Structure formats: structure tokens, C-alpha cells
A and B are shown apart, each in its own frame.
Chain A
Amino acid sequence: MSDNSSTLRGWLRAEVTTSPRHAALQRFYFGWLRLKGNPLALFGLSVLLFLIVVAILAPVIAPVGFNDQSLTRRLLPPSAEHWFGTDELGRDVFSRIVWGSRITLYISCLVAIIAAPVGLAVGTTAGYFGGWTDTVLMRVNDIFLSFPGLILALAFVAALGPGIENAVIAIALTAWPPIARLARAETLTVRSSDYIAAVRIQGASPARIILKHIVPMCIPSVVVRITLNMAGIILTAAGLGFLGLGAQPPLPEWGAMLSTGRQSMLQAWWLAAIPGLAILTTSLAFNLFGDGLRDVLDPRSE
């Protein structure tokens, strides 16, 4: 072999890996190379990264706070001073959008953090144990899946009361069923393999088998699915916000901004247009990135 091993790139491309970590990093590197070849997916990823940066640096980027009102400067169209114009209370829309990115990110991350583990837990348990456990869990799963996401989330939020935390819980409750179904399918294919049997003979408990051996196999497809579903989750969150059931005023949640923008939309079109564009861009980015991720991690599907 040529003298590649001295450079980082050479190390990553090495024909023979030296440790599990090396192998994992190599897989990651090759996946990244494949992703790079997909311009749309890269675009999606860069938009998402941009969003994260904006959210983190919100205090720096936004010229003013999100609730700085000025009744003399109401409903001004976009200008050099107010890039996105001002709303009905004289607040700078650009600042509100920037601060709102934090809320969007907060909701997406929380939903993902709740839904993915719950879905994985339910799905792998149902798939591994089979029998009654499987039937009962999947029946519950089906019941949740019988409702369209928005409707179920609406029902939960209606019951729990408006507020951003309740919205997160409600959306997470609608997001876990597809993950569980996916995890179960993966578990079923993996369950009968020889290495699982080997570990079981060695005396591993079911919990250990599931956690250490089955769950890692499910992670790629779960990651892809959550990323793709994230677009829908953002739209659902926006819908809840639009109905006033999500983040409460004066929080600059994008969906809620659309709702207030609707009142003045005939005079101030930018109030209705711009938050929607922000939602659209974020959702689009998740879709593009998710598609690219799927091509990299799960090439057998389509």
C-alpha cells in the first residue's frame, strides 16, 4: 500500500481499518462524500446550518428585541431600515423572524428528542418480543396512526391548553408512531440473524440485546425518517401557532405571526408573506436534506 496513512485523508480512505472507531469514521467520511455529490441535499443542509447559526446568534443579528414596539412606526413596508418591514405594533419583523428561529429550532429539537427514543423503544420492543407485546403495542400504534397528524395534535393541545410546551408534547405524540413502525420493521429483519442468537446464547438480557445490538441497526433509517418528517412537524407546529395554540404572544413564533399578519394582510402583505416564507424554507431544507440523507444511508429505498 502506498504511503497514504500519514495524511488524514489517507487514514480515512485506508483499505483496512484499525479500530471500530476508525471504521465508523470511515463510514461517516464516505457517506459525506456521497452527500457532497448531491447539490440539493447540500443546499438543504446549508440552510439548516444557517438556521442554527441565526438562532444561536439571534441577539447579535437581530437589530432590536422581538417585542420592541413603536406605535408611530406601525405597518411600514420593507425598507433599508426595516428589512422586513414592521408589524401592527411597530415591531421590526426581521428581528421577530430572527428570534422566531429559536422557537422553531426549539420545537423541532424537542419533538425529535422525545419522539425518536419513544418510537425506537416501542418499535424494537414490539419487534423483539413479538406475540402479545407486539400485538398490543402495534394496536396502540395503529390507533395513533389513524388520525392525521394535525388533527391529533389539535385535539391534544385543545385538551392540554395552549402553550409551547403543550404544543411540543402534542406534536411529539403524533410523531412517534411512524418511527415505532419503522423500528419494528427493522427489528423483525434483524431479530433472526445469527449474531443476535450468538449474543443471546452468551447470556445477554433482552434489554441489553435491544439496546446494544438492535437499536444501532435501526438508527440510520430512523434518522432519515425523522429528518423527512421534520418538515411536516414544522408545518404542524406552524398550524398550531396559526390557531393560537402554540407559543403565546408576544413570542415571535412564525405560525402565530401569520395569524396576526392575517388581520392586516390586505394593507401589509409582507406580514403574511414573510413568516410563511421562513416556514417554507425551513421545511424545504429538511425535505431536501432528508432526501439526500436517505440516498446516502438507505440506498435500497427508491
Chain B
Amino acid sequence: MAEPKAAAGQPPAAAPSSSLPRWVRPLLRQLASVAVTLLGLMALAFFIGRMLPLDPVIAIVGEQAEKETYDMVYRQLGLDRPLWQQFLFFIRDMLSGDFGNALFTGNRVADDLKRVFPATIELATFAIMIGVGIGVPVGVLAAVYRDSPLDHSVRFIGLLGYSSPTFWLGLMGLIVFYAWLDLVGGPGRLDVSYIDMVEPVTGLLTVDALLVGEYDVFWNTLSHMILPGTILGYSSMAYISRMTRSFMLEQLGQEYVTAARVKGQSKWRVVWRHAFRNILVQLITVIALAYAFLLEGAVLTETVFAWPGFGRYLTSGILAGDMNAVLACVLIIGVIFVALNLLSDLLYRLLDPRTK
């Protein structure tokens, strides 16, 4: 092959009859695949829901209800229909966002979720900023100075990070930094005196506070967020730095790195301009995944810190045996995971010149 293959814009001889751009069909295939996975998610959630030892009717009407009330609610919930019909209703409800009512709050689950989600997003975003801001540079340094004391300490700190139970770190953090040293705010998002001082516009307290210029509230919320956020960020950082190091090591062993140095480029210039740019795409995938893991870590951490977010909502739901709330949460998380995976896949395809 003496000439490059993209010769003068001629279509290849065996081109399909469709005139769609080359990237559309794989994308459609992937979307179809995602749809099937989502369907499976809902099936799994439905199945889990049916496994509950609790009788959902009794949960609503109470133990002492009369038979007519019981039957009425039974029919209302559609429990008299065949299973596959119930599943279809289930899908319809999920897709339209009707998750039913949460028994332990008395509200519609959808409304509850709208309320608690921003709190978790705020925490997770804070954490991911720490994870990326520290994890990436540290991972690069560890790779460049491989097997040095710096490298070993980075790896060890990382190892501790994903061997520790995050919620335990939260407990320790509260004991040391809140109880003993009084450096940070305690459980909850705000001191009691500041609650409801700021109108929830985005639901992100930091942003909302800044929007109205209530700096006291802003700092207070920050002081409450810093401990859970840092702890979640630490576990994120452990994962991100490990992956960054691994990717960088792979690149640094490549010939083009040596070639760049032959050209007279300094070591650090080669590291950032060449090696690092080659891992960017993989890093994006890792960061998307790390964000998803954060949602998982948030579940227990929010419980420890009484953070009124999604995770605490889920655990409260579990402890109350509230099937609607639990299933809705589980499904939402599954969807987020799938969406994040899809997003990182698409970004990969978009950004890597080799896949164009």
C-alpha cells in the first residue's frame, strides 16, 4: 500500500447502499443494546420488588384493615393481574416517572428524588474535583518517577484508599475533625440556624447561596461538605491515581516517547504534550466510572453524615421496607450507570483520532 487509504474522497467499492455517515450505524446498534440493557434492569428491579417478604397492601392499609379495603387496594395496585401485565404497567410507570408514593415520607417518590438528588450531586461533584485534581497529577508523577519513594507512597496511600470502608473513614473523620478538633461542620448540610435561609434554585446549596450573596450560608455549607466530600474524594483519588499511573506507564514505554526526546524535547514536555495527551481519552472513561462509583460510596457516607441526599434516602427506604422508594432508587442508579458508560463510550469514539 503505497498511498494512504482515504484516497481523494472516493467511497470504497463495497459501500452499503445507505448514505448515512459511517458512524451512525454503530451508534444505533449501541443505543439498541443500551435499550435492551435498560429493559433488563427494569425486569431485575421488578423481580426484586416481587421478592419482598412484605405485603405491599398491608403496608398501605395496615394490619387491621377489613377485607373489602384490602381487596380494593389489592386491585388498585394491580396485583390481581397476571404477572406479565404487571410488568408492563411497571415499565409504563417507570418510563413516565411515576414511581408511586414513598411510605416513609408520604410524598411521591418522584418529588422526593427531585429534592434529594441535588444534595448528592453537590457532594459527588466536590469529591470528583478532589479525585481528579489530586489523583491525575499524582498518578502522572508516580509513573514518571517509577519505583521511587514517591511512587511507593502514592501506591500505598491509594491502596489504603480502596481497602478502607469509606463510611468508617467518615466516622473517624467526624471524631477527629469535628468532635476533637472542631475544624469542620458536623453532620447535615447546614447548621440548624441556617436551614431554609436560602431559596433552593438549583438545589446545590453552594451555588444557591452564592447566587443570593449569602456568604455566611455558603461558608457554612462548605464547612459541612468538606469532610464527607474529602473522604469520598479520597476513595475516588485512589482509583483515579492508580489508573492514571497505569496508563502513563504504558505510554512512557512506547517508542514515540523516545522519538520525541530524540527531537530534543525535554522530559516533562514529552510527558505532558505527548504521553498525557494519549491517555486523555482513557482517563475520561475512568473519570465517568469514578463518578458512578461515587454514587455508590455516597450511600453509606450520607448515612454517617446525615447528609439529606440520595444515598440516605435509599437506606432509609430500605430500613422502612418501602418498596417503591427502594426500587426507584435502584433503577435510577442503574440508569445513571448505563448512561455514564454510554457517554464515556461515545466520548472515546469522538475524541480518539484512531477510531474516526
Contacts and interface: CB of A to CB of B under 8 A. Distances in A.
A139 B326 CA distance: 24
B90 to A, nearest CB: 15
Contacts of B165: 235, 238-239, 242, 255, 258, 276, 279-280, 283
Interface string A123-167: 000000000000000011011101111111011111111000000
B295 A143 contact: no
A142 to B, nearest CB: 6
A170 to B, nearest CB: 10
B39 to A, nearest CB: 9
A147 B330 contact: yes
Contacts of B327: 155
Nearest to A237: B165
B174 A265 contact: yes
A297 to B, nearest CB: 19
B62 interface: no
Interface in B314-356: 314-315, 317-319, 321, 326-327, 329-330, 333-334, 337-338, 341
B171 A150 contact: no
B48 A159 contact: yes
A265 B337 contact: no
A284 interface: yes
B49 interface: yes
Interface string B262-300: 000000000000000000000000000000110110011
A280 B168 contact: yes
B246 interface: yes
Q: How large is the interface on B (under 10, 10 to 19, 20 to 34, 35 or more residues)?
A: 35 or more
A266 B179 contact: yes
B53 A161 contact: yes
Contacts of A142: 37, 40
B215 interface: no
The secondary-structure label for the interface of chain A is helix
B168 A287 contact: no
B171 A265 contact: yes
B53 A243 contact: no
Given A148-B296, A154-B299, A161-B53, A243 B338 contact: no
Contact of B162 (A156, A159, A273, A287): A287
Contacts of A120: none
Nearest to B47: A159
A272 B172 contact: yes
A266 B180 CA distance: 9
A242 B159 contact: no
A77 interface: no
A158 B296 contact: no
Contacts of B341: 146
Kindly name the residue among B160, B168, B169, B321 whose own CB sees the greatest number of chain A CB atoms within 10 A.
B168
Nearest to A160: B51
Contact of B167 (A149, A155, A156, A239): A239
Contacts of B292: 148
Interface residues of A, number: 48
B174 A155 contact: no
B44 interface: yes
Interface string B307-319: 0000000110111
B303 A146 contact: no
B149 to A, nearest CB: 15
A74 interface: no
A103 to B, nearest CB: 15
Interface string B146-176: 0000000000000110111101110110110
B299 A140 contact: no
A223 to B, nearest CB: 19
B94 interface: no
B337 A148 contact: yes
A147 B40 contact: no
Nearest to A148: B296
A75 to B, nearest CB: 15
A231 interface: yes
Nearest to A158: B318
Contacts of A232: 162
A81 B174 CA distance: 28
A242 B300 contact: yes
B37 A143 contact: yes
A164 B171 CA distance: 24
A148 B293 CA distance: 7
B337 A146 contact: yes
Nearest to A287: B163
Contacts of A151: 296, 299, 314, 329-330, 333
Contacts of A144: 44
Contact of B37 (A146, A156, A269): A146
B79 interface: no
A262 B337 contact: no
Given A142-B37, A287-B163, A279 B48 contact: no
Interface in A235-276: 235, 238-239, 242-245, 255, 258, 261-262, 265-266, 269, 272-273, 275-276
Given A156-B48, A276-B168, A284-B159, 17 more contacts: A139-B36, A139-B40, A146-B41, A148-B333, A148-B337, A157-B318, A161-B53, A235-B163, A235-B165, A239-B165, A243-B300, A245-B318, A262-B304, A272-B168, A276-B169, A283-B164, A302-B246
27 contacts: A142-B37, A143-B41, A146-B37, A146-B334, A147-B333, A148-B293, A151-B296, A151-B299, A154-B330, A155-B327, A156-B48, A156-B51, A158-B48, A159-B49, A235-B163, A238-B168, A239-B165, A239-B299, A242-B165, A242-B300, A255-B165, A258-B167, A266-B179, A280-B163, A280-B165, A284-B163, A288-B159
Interface of A: 139-140, 142-144, 146-152, 154-161, 231-232, 235, 238-239, 242-245, 255, 258, 261-262, 265-266, 269, 272-273, 275-276, 279-280, 283-284, 286-288, 302
Return the 10 tightest CB-CB contacts between A and B, nearest first: A276-B168, A148-B296, A143-B40, A159-B51, A284-B163, A283-B163, A158-B318, A155-B330, A272-B171, A159-B48
